[in-house]
Amino acid sequence: MRLLASLSGVFFSVHGLDNGLGNTPQMGYNTWNDFECEGVSEENITKVADKMVDLGLPALGYEYLVIDDCWAHRRGEDGILVPYEKAFPHGMKNVADYVHDKGLKFGIYTDRGRWTCAGRPGGSGYEVTDAQTFVSWGVDYVKTDSCFGPDSLEDPPSPEAIAQYELFRDALNKTGRKVFLALSGWHNWYSPYGKSLANSWRIGYDVRDWRSAWNYAIRVNAFLSEYGGPGGWNDPDMLVGSSSGAAVKMTPQQSRTQFSLWSVMAAPLLLGSSMLSMSSHDLETYTNAEVIAVDQDPLGIQGQIVWENCPLRKRADVHQNQYYDEIPYCQQAWAKPVRDGFALVLLNLDRFQPAKVDFKVYDVCWSSPSSKSCDFFEDASVRDLWSKQELGVRKSIQVTLDPDGASRMFKLVPLKWKASETEPAAMAATKSQRRPALRPQRVGMGPPLILETDTVHFLQEPTEL
């Protein structure tokens, strides 16, 4: 790959994070999209822990409660981090113990730079001290950010940034405690070797609304599917809910689409909706066990775009220092192989117009040598994962999608696999068995469209990095 070739002459450690965690993407709650800095306190964290249990979230897999930035105040004379005394009067270990008593795991935030993004003490030069401190508090999860540290906003990677993350990774390894490490470096150039550094790695800037979800997550992660898998995951950022009490919000349909797409992307599912005043819509979204099962599928395959009529994009066009582009007026189909079939999300990105989609079920396959593929099939048993209705055996799925981020999500089980409880034989198909993927005339979007092959993006071959 070109990116790997570009690393010649730059040494990156081959030693990985030795914790055995992250066999499936992490699930839980993070304070940032809910509280930001306001409300980060012992009182609210204990209320959140209570609420997570009351809502039954741990039973669905939401195991981590993570405090993001703004908890730390200063360093003591011994170099140990001291939380804000008024917000955390009994200290962080007391909070961790309370979270553990609720059957949850406790997470905390740090930064590889001198300061955190909110101007609190960072971890630069204190990697060993902080790793030992966090472990003494009973921390199970650490998010480590990238503000105020040496870095490069260009592609290829910054050796200084990698070296700092390695220092903290190695310090955690030496403690002997299994701590999930989530790297938040904002760059997709971490992906090719992310598993050597952490259990997940951010691929872009913060997702704050639907427009940033497109710019910094959806269009970026489409190029990175080969790098995520058991032990380490591409992280397109935390979930944004629609509940009024949270610091940031999307519309209800956009937040549901985000959850569907993140599940097909095999992305971390870290709730950012208001936990203490969660709407019934958000609760219904985040407790859909069938959609969660797609994210947590044991095959651990990150989904890809299998059809779209959006403009052709190249990875060079989605650098993180390129500010917002307008969301294109187009549609996409994302698919992910799961143990007994496929998950499919049909998405309308058009801000103003509804879209009619006629999707042939066999188009859930793709033909990328770096990805699992499948044998040809003409029909499948289809289930709508949000209405929870069986739609019967179909050769195609016809839906009308509302504008501005609406979607539909389905489970497809090809009939010839339906009786089998084992992994589909298609998962091991050779390249010679794969059908051609480029057949745009088989998909109709609303009024007749001329879908030119140079403006339709199909993942026929791995995208060059």
* pLDDT band of 128, cuts 50, 70, 90: very high
Tell me what the pLDDT averaged over the chain comes to: 85
Residues 323-328, mean pLDDT to the nearest whole number: 77
Are 354 and 257 within one domain?
A: no
Do residues 262 and 308 both lie within one domain? no
Residue 363, domain member (yes or no): yes
Looking at 394, 412, 430, the residue that finishes a domain is 412
pLDDT confidence of residue 374: 63
Residue 423: inside a domain: no
The larger pLDDT score, comparing residue 160 to residue 376, is at: 160
Note whether 41 and 151 are same-domain residues. Answer: yes
Catalytic site includes residue 145: yes
Say yes or no: 173 and 261 in one domain: yes
Residues 284 and 336 in one domain: no
Q: Is the pLDDT of residue 371 over 70?
A: no
237 lies in the same domain as 333: no
Q: Is the pLDDT of residue 408 over 70?
A: yes
Catalytic residue among 69, 206, 375, 404: 206
Instruction: Provide the pLDDT for residue 326.
Output: 86
Q: Are residues 29 and 158 in the same domain?
A: yes
Given 365, 380, 412, which residue is the final one in a domain? 412
- Whether residues 276 and 308 share a domain: the answer is no
- pLDDT per residue as tens digits for the range 334-348: 999 999 899 999 999
pLDDT digits (tens, 9 = 90+) for 16-56: 787 999 999 999 999 999 999 999 999 999 999 999 999 99
Give the span between the Cα atoms of 249 and 98, in whole angstroms: 29
Claim to verify: residue 289 and residue 143 sit in the same structural domain: yes
Residue 431 lies in a domain: no
Together in a domain, 342 and 212? no
Catalytic annotation, pick one of 111, 130, 145, 235: 145
Global pTM?
0.87
What percent of the chain is predicted at pLDDT more than 90? 73
| Residue 337 lies inside a defined structural domain of this protein | yes
Indicate the number of domains in the chain. Answer: 2
Kindly state the tokens that stand for 260. Answer: 């569907």
CA distance 217 to 209: 11
Any idea which of 126-130, 133-137, 158-162, 272-276 has the lowest mean pLDDT?
A: 158-162
Residue at 96 is within a domain: yes
Domain contains 58 = yes
201 plus 229 within the same structural domain: yes
CATH of the domain at 385: 2.60.40.1180
How far apart (Å, rounded) are the C-alpha atoms in residues 19 and 36? Answer: 29
Q: Is 30 a member of any domain?
A: yes
CATH number at residue 81: 3.20.20.70
> Is 206 considered catalytic here?
yes
Does residue 115 form part of some domain? yes
Residues 41, 143, single domain; the answer is yes
pLDDT at residue 120, rounded to an integer: 97
State the average pLDDT over residues 389-404.
97
Structural domain harbouring 289: 25-294
- Residue-level pLDDT at 107: 98
Q: Among 377, 393, 412, where does a domain finish?
A: 412
